[in-house]
Amino acid sequence: MGELWRRFWLPFMMSSELPAPDCPPKRVRILSEDLVAFRDTAGRVGLLGNHCPHRGASLFFGCNQEGGLRCVYHGWKYDVHGRCIEMPNEPASSTYKDKIQHKAYPCREAGGFIWAYMGPASLKPRDLPRFGFNVVPEKHRLCHKLLVYCNWLQAMEGDVDPAHVSFLHGNLAGPANLPWRERLRVGGSFGSSSNNPSVTTRNLPDATQDIAPAMFVKETDYGLAVGARRRSGADSYFWRINQFLMPGNALIPAPHGANQQCTMRIPIDDDSSWNFRVRWNDHRPLTAEELEDYTKIGINLPEVDPMTFVPVENKDNDYLIDRSRQGAVSMTGIKSISQQDRAATESMGPIYDRTQEHLCTTDAGVIALRKILLRAVRDLQQGVEPAQPANAAVYHVRAPEIKAARDVPFDQLVEEYVLDVTRL
């Protein structure tokens, strides 16, 4: 799987973490490799191996100035391509520096993120995936990053599991003496980021009460479309269609005209992962109200430690679960939607033993995800490269939330609302 990951451009940090030329370098760990990222005097980003090729001091302590990162131990200096450009502890006549090529991965910037390509040079994809947020102006988007204490796939499986929103993200409304089932209202993942129940139920009380959705899965050029179909009125269905995009990305459904949401999972190593999230609008800047909603209220983009990106609500404090709210106003008593997800997926442990599972009908997306990943890995072992890296355009799709007549088939909805991005 690690080899497969190395065929794709991967976001590994937010551009804002290297805010200016010659700013301090940052440690990076992805795909079990310890690296150091820096932005040189010309603004270019380099991603180098952590250990200086001389005798291994960490380049994290390096001095970043005048077009390169200088190891503080004996002064060897590297450019963004990993070339040793100075070796000041050697005689001036020495050409030894020309023999030193440090590990360096090519980097690009788009969408508020810095992306690296860590695979064979001959297979480097020409373009970054054409996600909507990669092509909008900066003010149209909001980027976020958090540390997840489990394997990336375990977290990813929640992104193709639309049934859990009825429970994990459920709000409870109405008199406390009513049965739980009647008080349940699906929470923020039904299109809005707000935790305000009057917003999140979005006048679809019948759909939000259908807690056992019918599942539909379709394999696509980019990965999977996973549809959850809920009853809504006498003659229509309410659909949410999640997208999985190789190798670790998902689009979370949003209604017509609403801001889009993408979640990208990148392995740090087998036991932990980065979750990069973006909220964006294709047509206009995000409003002050939306930014407030996403960040201050702490629902979609929870508050994190700015150095470590560990969320304030985390496994060591039981995600600040408030038992007085649990069962009264929400299912979990955990404030942010994102951390409700973490409580579920991190509590499985770093890598859950899948032989202990009992999968059911609403796990159709999880099953399909595992199948296409395993197939892609086996194909690669046979020398068959994944198709997506060379097809950046296939990433330009939507995750719709739609009400449709009951006789409209899933495939037609995918054609009209997922693949035809002019519709939303």
Question: Interface with ligand FES by CB under 6 A: which residues?
Answer: 52, 54-57, 71, 73-76
Q: How far is the CB of 187 from Fe ion (least distance, A)?
A: 9
Task: Please say which residue, 72 or 320, places its beta carbon nearer to ligand FES.
Answer: 72
Q: Which does 71 bind (CB under 5 to 8 A by kind): ligand FES, Fe ion, none?
A: ligand FES
The Cα–Cα gap between 149 and 347 comes to 9
Judged by CB under 5 A, the stretch of 335-343, 353-361, 387-395, 396-404 that binds Fe ion is 335-343
What SS3 class is residue 130? coil
Task: Please say which residue, 17 or 341, places its beta carbon nearer to Fe ion.
Answer: 341
Residue 313 is a binding residue for Fe ion (CB under 5 A): no
Q: How far is the CB of 55 from ligand FES (least distance, A)?
A: 4
Q: Which does 217 bind (CB under 5 to 8 A by kind): Fe ion, ligand FES, none?
A: none
Q: Which does 54 bind (CB under 5 to 8 A by kind): Fe ion, ligand FES, none?
A: ligand FES
Q: Which does 323 bind (CB under 5 to 8 A by kind): ligand FES, Fe ion, none?
A: none
The Cα–Cα gap between 271 and 263 comes to 19
Alpha helices, H only, 184-282: 197-200, 205-208
E runs forming strands in 176-235: 184-185, 214-219, 223-232
String of DSSP letters for 334-390: -S-HHHHHHHHHHTT-SS--GGG----GGGHHHHHHHHHHHHHHHHHHTT---SGGG
Q: 303 is written with which tokens?
A: 């508050």
Q: How far is the CB of 38 from ligand FES (least distance, A)?
A: 15
Q: How far is the CB of 48 from ligand FES (least distance, A)?
A: 12
Q: How far is the CB of 345 from Fe ion (least distance, A)?
A: 9
Report whether the peptide linkage leading into residue 120 is cis, meaning its omega lies within 30 degrees of zero: no
Residue 341 is a binding residue for Fe ion (CB under 5 A): yes
**58, 37 contact by CB (below 8 A):** no
Q: CB-based burial of residue 391 (10 Å sphere; 0-12 exposed, 13-18 middle, 19+ buried)?
A: middle
Task: Please say which residue, 101 or 196, places its beta carbon nearer to ligand FES.
Answer: 101
Task: Please say which residue, 61 or 167, places its beta carbon nearer to Fe ion.
Answer: 167
Task: Please say which residue, 102 or 342, places its beta carbon nearer to ligand FES.
Answer: 102
Task: Please say which residue, 341 or 346, places its beta carbon nearer to Fe ion.
Answer: 341
Q: How far is the CB of 160 from Fe ion (least distance, A)?
A: 11
Backbone angles phi, psi at 18, to 5 degrees: -120, 80
Spatial neighbors of 371 by CB under 8 A, at least 6 apart, are: none
The closest residue (CB) to Fe ion is 341
Whose structure tokens read 């194909």?
379
Spatial neighbors of 378 by CB under 8 A, at least 6 apart, are: none
Q: How far is the CB of 59 from ligand FES (least distance, A)?
A: 8
Task: Please say which residue, 71 or 168, places its beta carbon nearer to ligand FES.
Answer: 71
The Cα–Cα gap between 258 and 24 comes to 37
Task: Please say which residue, 132 or 170, places its beta carbon nearer to Fe ion.
Answer: 170
Whose structure tokens read 């090529």?
101
Q: Which does 341 bind (CB under 5 to 8 A by kind): ligand FES, Fe ion, none?
A: Fe ion
Residue 156 CA, distance from chain mean position:
8
Q: How far is the CB of 331 from Fe ion (least distance, A)?
A: 11
The Cα–Cα gap between 358 and 364 comes to 12
Task: Please say which residue, 98 or 292, places its beta carbon nearer to ligand FES.
Answer: 98
Q: Which does 74 bind (CB under 5 to 8 A by kind): ligand FES, Fe ion, none?
A: ligand FES
Q: Which does 167 bind (CB under 5 to 8 A by kind): ligand FES, Fe ion, none?
A: none
Q: Which does 73 bind (CB under 5 to 8 A by kind): ligand FES, Fe ion, none?
A: ligand FES
Q: How far is the CB of 60 from ligand FES (least distance, A)?
A: 12
The Cα–Cα gap between 111 and 282 comes to 12
Residues that bind Fe ion (CB under 5 A): 341
